[in-house]
Amino acid sequence: MDDSTRADFAEFVAVQVRPLLGFAHALTADPHDAWDLTQETLARMGERWERTSYDTPAAYARTVMVRLNIDRIRRLRRELPRSTAGPEVAVPVVDLDGMEPWLVDALATLSPRQRTALALRYVEDLDVRGIAERMGCSEGTVKSQLSRGTERLREHARGRGLMTTREG
């Protein structure tokens, strides 16, 4: 990588590391996994930075991150047989970029697929088709994950006294 390309990538990292970390946190619900995912994403981006032209490198980085996270989830499923894996446990996470603490806790209770779908919908502002493409699943699966994840967030908010009705 020549000096100019290295400087371009360093600038990208300086500007994007915090937003990427926040997105990774939304995907993983764990601060340590979020750092690992962010670092792996940036490493992949750095390996290909010189050979690829990006119109929107931040969007491409988030696509890389989603795919790496899906690979991470699959790897974890292979490593932890279902018979020994306990129920998903809410992991205490740190407040990132002013995100409400109750929301951080609520995101930690979602399944990885629900978190991914919701992050792509509300952070990336993707439609169902775009989410399905990024996640590598059907649009029906995306709709189901969005619906279930949203309902779990509502239940969590109601449990905290933040909502009193389904519509609220």
HSE (side-chain half, CA atoms, 13 Å) at 35: 4
Residue-level pLDDT at 163: 67
Q: How far is residue 85 CA from its own chain's centroid?
A: 22
- DSSP letter string over 21-70? HHHHHHHHS-HHHHHHHHHHHHHHHHHHTTT---SSHHHHHHHHHHHHHH
Contacts of residue 125, Cβ cutoff 8 Å, sequence gap at least 6: none
Classify each residue of 11-46 as buried b or exposed e, where b means 16 or more C-beta atoms within 10 Å of its C-beta. ebbeebeeebbbbbbbbbbbbebbeebbebbbeebb
H/E stretch holding 140: helix 139-159
What pLDDT is stored for residue 166 in this prediction?
A: 55
Name the band, by pLDDT with cuts 50, 70 and 90, for residue 10: very high
Q: Say what the pLDDT of residue 107 is.
A: 82
Tens digit of each residue's pLDDT (9 = 90 or more) over 144-153: 999 999 999 8
Give the integer Cα–Cα distance in Å for 71 and 28.
12
User: Mean pLDDT over residues 10-33, rounded?
Assistant: 91
- Domains, in order of start, for the chain: 3-159 (1.20.140.160)
15 pLDDT more than 60:
yes
Stretch among 1-5, 51-55, 94-98 having the lowest mean pLDDT:
94-98
